Amino acid sequence: MPKIITISREFGSGGREIGKRLADILNVRYLDLEIVEAIAKETNLDENYLQNKLENSMDTYPVTFGNSFSHIFQISNSAMLIAKQHQIIKEIASKSDCVIVGRGADAILSNMNPFKIFIYADINSKIIRCKQRMTAGEYMSDKQLLKKINSIDKKRKSLHSLYASYTWGDKTGYNLCVNTSNMNIKDLILPILKMIEVYFKED
């Protein structure tokens, strides 16, 4: 069975960087755009549209179902895309060792015994990291960033609940939870790699 590493992460905690670095050093596939590309190919939908739809699909779920056709279409459209992503993640991940960040992969691939990592940090560290990532000319106040971080993480939690039997971010669902507050992401890679080695040795 392929060795799969899934990374779930709070927005601004450095999880994506950890995922990319791990995939680089382990010389395995880093699954991200490849998933969107595969869905685009099968559905003939634009990749940017898809990416946005997959990240925000919970927005279109109403508390009670509306009765307009467009609304019903929106719901079934989102549900279809989520189901398609689910299927494609399973297909792609089963081919060879890989690292997948987000997308509920921890839960979707649970039968394949992935090493499941959760990356988090305190709010100050996340705000600092978001600011460092901003492009020239881009500006958001701390208050705006806080709102953005909370809003994105809320969406991630909601989306995750569609796939998983455990709550997004609840440590019981993961093998390792790493707090990146005040830490240099680059330095964390070696200890995490060592933990991954131990896990797959004993699997």
Positions 160 through 179 that interact with a copy of itself (CB under 8 A): 169, 171-172, 174-179
Cβ nearer to a copy of itself, comparing 83 with 198: 198
Cα 197 to Cα 34, 99, 118, 192, distances in angstroms: 25, 14, 17, 9
119-158 mask for a copy of itself (x: CB under 8 A)? -x-x------------------------------------
Binding of residue 202 to a copy of itself (CB under 8 A): yes
71-110 mask for a copy of itself (x: CB under 8 A)? ----------------------------------------
**C-alpha dihedral sign at 21, 33, 38, 103:** positive
Cβ nearer to a copy of itself, comparing 154 with 194: 194
Cβ nearer to a copy of itself, comparing 76 with 182: 182
Among 124, 133, 198, 200, binds a copy of itself (CB under 8 A): 198
103-122 mask for a copy of itself (x: CB under 8 A)? ---------------x-x-x
Determine the size of the site formed for a copy of itself (CB under 8 A): 28
Smallest gap from Cβ 167 to a copy of itself, in A, equals 12
By CB neighbour count within 10 A (0-12 exposed, 13-18 middle, 19+ buried), where does 52 fall?
A: exposed
> Which one, of 14, 22, 77, lies nearest residue 189 by Cα?
22
Residues 6+ apart with CB under 8 A from 152: 11
By CB neighbour count within 10 A (0-12 exposed, 13-18 middle, 19+ buried), where does 5 fall?
A: buried
Are 11 and 150 a contacting pair, CB within 8 Å? no
Cα 6 to Cα 49, 50, 72, 98, 135, distances in angstroms: 24, 21, 33, 8, 28
Residues that bind a copy of itself (CB under 8 A): 118, 120, 122, 169, 171-172, 174-179, 181-184, 187-188, 190-192, 194-195, 197-199, 201-202
